[in-house]
Amino acid sequence: MDPIHQFQITNLFPIGKIGNAEIAFTNSAAFMLVAVVGLTLFLVVGTAGGKEVPTRLQSAAELTYEFVANMLRSTAGHEGMRFFPFVFTIFMFVLTLNMLGLIPYGFTVTSHVIITATLALMVFFTVLGYGLIRHGFHFFNLFVPKGVPIYILPMIVAIEILSFISRPISHSVRLFANMLAGHIALKVFAGFIILLGGALGAIGWVGGVLPFAMIVALTALELLVAFLQAYVFAILTCIYLNDAIHPGH
Amino acid sequence: MPDDARGKGNRKDPPNDEAVLSARLQRLGERLATANRPSENDSGPRPSADASAFARGFRLSTELVGGVIAGAVIGWLLDRWLGTTPWGLIVFVLLGFAAGVLNVMRAAGVARERRLND
């Protein structure tokens, strides 16, 4: 009945200790492992044949490649393709975790901000690191727009830097909040059925059809959101990488 | 014209000729490749693509909130280190709000994207 219960982390078995903190294999880690193993199998088995006329599995694997490659090319240009493995991994990982979360009794790894923040920070530091390596300190000119009067320049630079720093926050919060809110809404509506049945008896169970219909609709919406958020996460990664790659026009 | 050459070749040779077939397959592959590949010239960045109105709306709202949160956290940390309570927080929340608005305008395509060298 507790709509938050589904997000509880449980230790499956302990692995070891770092300092005083116990490191355990949790249900979250288990789902991540399932996602990684499943994805690897999907792509390895899918591309193993390499037939001219693809099988269904190969076709699906090729579709995912084309999809991500087109997304990356259209946002970061041809040079962005060197980040293809990175973007592809992020997109498929997030998408699989989102989808796994929709399976009943499943656990939504991406509904924990620590996971999405780690991914977003990874992107953030990749952009920062690559930009600095490629353009040196010239990269910081990103924060100094040309043609701004000198007396408001300090404020503009501060705003630009804050805007840059706020990227991983909005990047991670978007994915995490969407998954969290959607799954809570599902559980709350499911709870209504039980409450109605318990309070009103037979009439309540009949009335429970209404929240049940709502759950069906919400599940379909969640399926859309699961894909959309993975897509948005990946395309923002591309947009941020574009900043690091392209020095200007 | 390669098409004319292929036409004549087909009339002369029987259609099950392996060499002709593989040559045609190769030509088809090349044409498919050039048709599918985006032209090499437009390797530059383009404005951010959008998935749908829903994703767009959510993106805009988090951009604003992200800016304010970043400003608040930095202001609070500066206050703690420098002992300037509450001025750091006040100034940086305001700057963060401005950064958030800038983020929103960039995400919506109203403001110019930042670029080096321009």
pLDDT the model gives residue B22: 85
Across the A/B interface, how many CB contacts are shorter than 8 Å? 117
pLDDT the model gives residue A32: 95
Q: Does A83 or A21 have the greater pLDDT score?
A: A83
pLDDT tens, residue by residue, A50-68: 778 888 889 999 999 999 9
Residue B48 has pLDDT above 60, yes or no: no
Mean pLDDT of A188-214: 88
- Of chain B, the end-to-end C-alpha distance in Å amounts to 45
B103:A170 CB<8 A: yes
pLDDT the model gives residue B43: 45
What phi, psi does A25 have (nearest 5°)? -80, 110
pLDDT the model gives residue B23: 85
Instruction: Tell me what the pLDDT averaged over chain A comes to.
Output: 89
The minimal CB distance from B69 to the residues A138, A166, A246 is found for A166
Beta bridge partners of A18: A21
Domain boundaries, chain B: 2-36, 53-108
Beta bridge partners of B37: none
Distance CA A63, CA A25 (A): 33
> Which amino acid is it at A45?
V
Mean pLDDT of B78-90: 91
Q: Does A244 or A88 have the greater pLDDT score?
A: A88
Domain that holds residue A187: 5-245
| % of chain B with per-residue pLDDT over 90 | 30
Q: Does A30 or A136 have the greater pLDDT score?
A: A30
pLDDT tens, residue by residue, A163-194: 999 999 999 999 999 999 999 999 999 998 88
pTM of the full structure: 0.78
A166:B63 CB<8 A: yes
**Number of structural domains in chain A:** 1
pLDDT tens, residue by residue, A110-167: 999 999 999 999 999 999 999 999 888 888 888 888 888 889 999 999 999 999 999 9
B70 vs A contacts (CB less than 8 Å)? 162, 165-166, 169
Write the burial class of residue B9 (CB in 10 Å: 0-12 exposed, 13-18 middle, 19+ buried).
Answer: middle
pLDDT the model gives residue B38: 54
A159:B98 CB<8 A: yes
